[in-house]
Amino acid sequence: MVLNWHSDGCYELRDILIQLSYVAHFMTKRGLLRLTRHMLTEVLKQCAQDLEGIYLPAEPGCFIDKLEERTCVLENCFHVSGQPVYQFTHLQLQEYLTAQAILFGCSDPEDNQLHPVDVLKKYFDQPAWREIIVMVALQGDNRVTPALLEELLACAENNPDDNYYVSNLLFEMIVNFVPMRMDTRRRIYDLLFRANITDYEIRRIGEFMRDSRSGDFVQYITEQHRQSYEMEDTDFAFADAVIRIFECIERKEHPLELAQEMFLNFNDIKRQEAVFMLTIISWCKYCGVKGALSLYYQFTFHPQFVAAVREALLEEEYGWKDLVSSVKDMLLAGLLSDQAVLDEAVFCKAFQVYCSDSPKFGKELLSMFPITYESLMYDVEVTEEIRDRAREAYEEADPVDKAFAFTICALCKCWDVWKRGITDELVTLEGYYSQNRNKMDDAARIKMSQLRRQVYALGDLLSQGIEAYQAGEIKKARDTFMKAWGNTGAMNNLAYMLRRGEIGSVAYKGIEYSVPELLKAGVEAGEGFSLVNMALYECTEKGDFSFAAARAYIGRIDPDEVKGIFYWWIHAALKKEREGFLVLSWLMEAGFIDETPFGGRQEISRILEEYENGTERR
């Protein structure tokens, strides 16, 4: 377009490009995509001053008119207060001209006196400048491009924990085939892909591999991973897994199906590749990474694969740590269910590793267990030292790890689950996350959502069991309370039904429990309903229902619990059940209450005498 305009002899091509480059640089440096006609005129005037003697300036108004009339480089997109507003036809055109301004000294005095690399390095972490920096590298000479690559490498190497934007820029140099020495190319590969990989790099590798010139990259990563595996290491494993995934997609195969097959049928490098393929796809799924890979997020694993994963978690062989990380990501992505792979045996294994001198991956696996009555009752000995470790880790955890550390504290029984300690702590955690919302990552959000459901479900089971009992659904009530095994309330209710003959027996993990065994923990803790149930049981066994026989238990009731006990057994009395009146009489004898809907001590005693004589009122 500019060449055609230039051929008319209005302006020299060089002069046109200098002015357009200056305008583009002015806009990009200030984050502008549009200029009013007045602003554009002023910029062109400033260009004439800053670059005096370098080109033959045109009258700004005439130049703008000719631009609009004869080219599509700048377009009038709309009007503001009757004044035209201009923008470059394509953003890429503005980026290209900005690169030209930096390379050939067509910008303001501040940047013109600097080397192009010194101009650009302050923009390495700004996505809006990414394409410009790549264009400078592509068009630069031996004075610019090698220096730019070296500056990028130095920035990435000096900030290994905070080089996301710079590493992405370096990979853009690779995928855009910026000219560079082979040792520089390999140095970039080593820096970017030896250990980790970013979501941006995953997407770009898929696109890069469609180009036939990507062979060197694929060959180098594959060979480096093979050598690393032989040294029992995992260097380049993530990048190699991404390559395998996109090779699979290119063959129109499902990468998760291939990973499943490799995991089941191989025990060497292929199995390691499968584990890292599973990790990559799972991570991309729960992080919502878009692109070709997102078409393969839905998959149902074969039960044989799920069983093999569980067995591998128990073995702790070479690659166990990588498998733990992969399982964590598959659980977060919903590709595996915790019920399928996380049972008591796996918990004991994870807990054993957590208690060792190298607890990291035991902690990672433990943190994925659901908080349920069952998991809270797993048979492991938790020392005070381990509780202190869990509490300290929770207090010091970053926002991204806080929810996972919460799970470990709960499983290590750091809080009294039965007395709302865990619920209160969850409320504190929710408040913490509301204040640190921007610091949460996708994994933390998913885990927090799981915690809400799990912790609040702990109380729901008791409510559901009591509702079922009051509706006369005894079997459903028993089954619900069994799910909450270990909860004092659940144990009380099971003992209550067993004592009254409403259920025949209570067995947990093949062991049958008597009423005293069910109530033992609650009685020792002085829990009111446990004490009343134990008093009723012993008095029935002895045939002595006097207050003296029940005093040892009734006298220990906390006054704060009397109201709940009164209301439960008043309902029994209203249904003409003897034990309802018996408990009311004990509460009066102990001085907890003075009156009942049936009268005072004298009236209750008379009612109980009628039961003794078999003449109770109906």
What are the φ and ψ backbone dihedral angles of 79, each rounded to 5 degrees?
-120, 145
Give the domain-ending residue among 115, 135, 153: 153
Average pLDDT over residues 222-238: 94
Residue, of 510 and 275, whose pLDDT is higher = 275
- By the 8 A CB rule, do 102 and 120 touch? yes
pLDDT at 7: 47
Distance, CA of 497 to CA of 215 (rounded, Å):
72
**Strand, helix or coil for residue 601:** helix
Enumerate the β-bridge partners of residue 35. 86
- Higher-confidence position of 613 and 552: 552
More confident: 133 or 598:
133
Q: What percent of the chain has pLDDT over 70?
A: 97
Residue 181 lies in a domain: no
Q: What is the pLDDT of residues 47-62, one digit of tens each?
A: 999 999 888 888 999 9
Tell me the residue type at 200: Y
Res. 306: pLDDT tops 50: yes
Instruction: Tell which wins on pLDDT, 510 or 276.
Output: 276
Instruction: Give the mean pLDDT of 74-99.
Output: 91
Domain region containing 137: 13-153
Tell me how far CA of residue 526 lies from CA of 189, 291, 530, in angstroms. Answer: 65, 60, 8
Q: Which residues pair with 87 in a beta bridge?
A: 75
Instruction: Give the pLDDT confidence score for residue 330 in this predicted structure.
Output: 97
- 540 found inside a domain: yes
- pLDDT attached to residue 615: 56
Residue 90 lies in a domain: yes
CA 432 to each of CA 396, 403, 417, 423, 425: distance values in angstroms, whole numbers, following the listed order: 13, 10, 20, 14, 11
Non-local CB neighbours of 371 within 8 Å, separated by 6+ positions: 407, 410, 411, 422, 451, 454, 455, 458
Cα dihedral across residues 346, 348, 353, 354: positive or negative: positive
Contacting residues for 136 by C-beta, under 8 A, at least 6 apart: 99, 102, 103, 116, 120, 144, 145, 148
| Residue with more model confidence, 55 or 41 | 41
Whether residue 268 is contained in a domain is answered as no
- CA separation for the pair 21, 361 (Å, rounded): 54
Q: Three-state SS for 334?
A: coil
Asked if residue 366 belongs to a domain, the reply is no
| 425, pLDDT greater than 70 | yes
pLDDT band at 616 (very low <50, low <70, confident <90, very high): low
What is the count of structural domains for the chain?
Answer: 2
CA 532 vs CA 539, 559, 595: distances in Å: 11, 13, 19
Per-residue pLDDT band for 10 (boundaries 50, 70, 90) equals low
Contact 458, 496 (CB under 8 A): no
Whether residue 377 is predicted with pLDDT greater than 80 in this model: the reply is: no
* DSSP 8-state secondary structure symbol assigned to residue 65: H
Lowest mean pLDDT among 254-263, 382-391, 432-441, 504-513: 432-441
Whole-number pLDDT of residue 618: 44
Residue 579 has pLDDT above 60, yes or no: yes
3 state DSSP class of 80: strand
Q: Which of 300-314, 356-370, 428-442, 508-522 shows the lowest mean pLDDT across its residues?
A: 428-442
Q: Which of 124, 153, 182 is the last residue of a domain?
A: 153
Residues of the chain with pLDDT > 90, as a percent, come to 69
pLDDT(147) > 80:
yes
20: confidence class by pLDDT, cuts 50, 70, 90: very high
Residue 548 domain-assigned (yes or no) = yes
Average pLDDT over residues 287-313: 94
Q: Report yes or no on 576 lying in a domain.
A: yes
Q: Which residues of 31-51 are buried (b: 16+ CB within 10 A; e: fewer)?
A: eeeebebebbbebbeebbebb
Distance CA 197, CA 284 (A): 11
In which band, very low, low, confident or very high, does the pLDDT at 316 lie, cut at 50, 70 and 90? confident
What mean pLDDT is predicted for residues 438-445? 88
Query: For 513, which DSSP code?
Result: E
Instruction: State the average pLDDT over residues 366-374.
Output: 90
Q: How many helices (H) and strands (E) does the chain have?
A: 34, 5
Last residue of a domain, one of 112, 137, 153: 153
Confidence of residue 509 (pLDDT cuts 50, 70, 90): confident
| Whole-angstrom distance, CA of residue 525 vs CA of residue 531 | 9
- Do the beta carbons of residue 285 and residue 332 sit within 8 Å? no
The pLDDT assigned to 329 comes to: 97
**Position with higher pLDDT, 113 vs 57:** 113
Three-state SS annotation for 467-495: HHHHCCCHHHHHHHHHHCCCCHHHHHHHH
Find the mean pLDDT for residues 286-315: 94
The candidate with the shortest Cα–Cα distance to 120, out of 196, 173, 157, is: 173
3-state secondary structure of 251: coil
At 286 the pLDDT is 94
- Residue-level pLDDT at 484: 82
Pairing of strands 506-508, 83-88: unpaired
Please report the pLDDT score of residue 319 as a whole number: 84
CA separation for the pair 86, 93 (Å, rounded):
14
574: its two tokens: 């209203």
Query: Longest C-alpha distance within the chain, in Å?
Result: 126
Predicted confidence at residue 438, as pLDDT, reads 82
Question: Tens digit of pLDDT for each residue in 528-569?
Answer: 999 999 999 999 999 998 989 999 999 999 999 999 999 999
Q: Is the dihedral of CA 280, 286, 287, 292 positive or negative?
A: positive
- Residue 582 domain flag: yes
What was the pLDDT predicted at 355? Answer: 93
443-477: pLDDT as tens digits: 999 999 999 998 888 777 788 888 899 999 999 99
Mean pLDDT of 81-107: 94
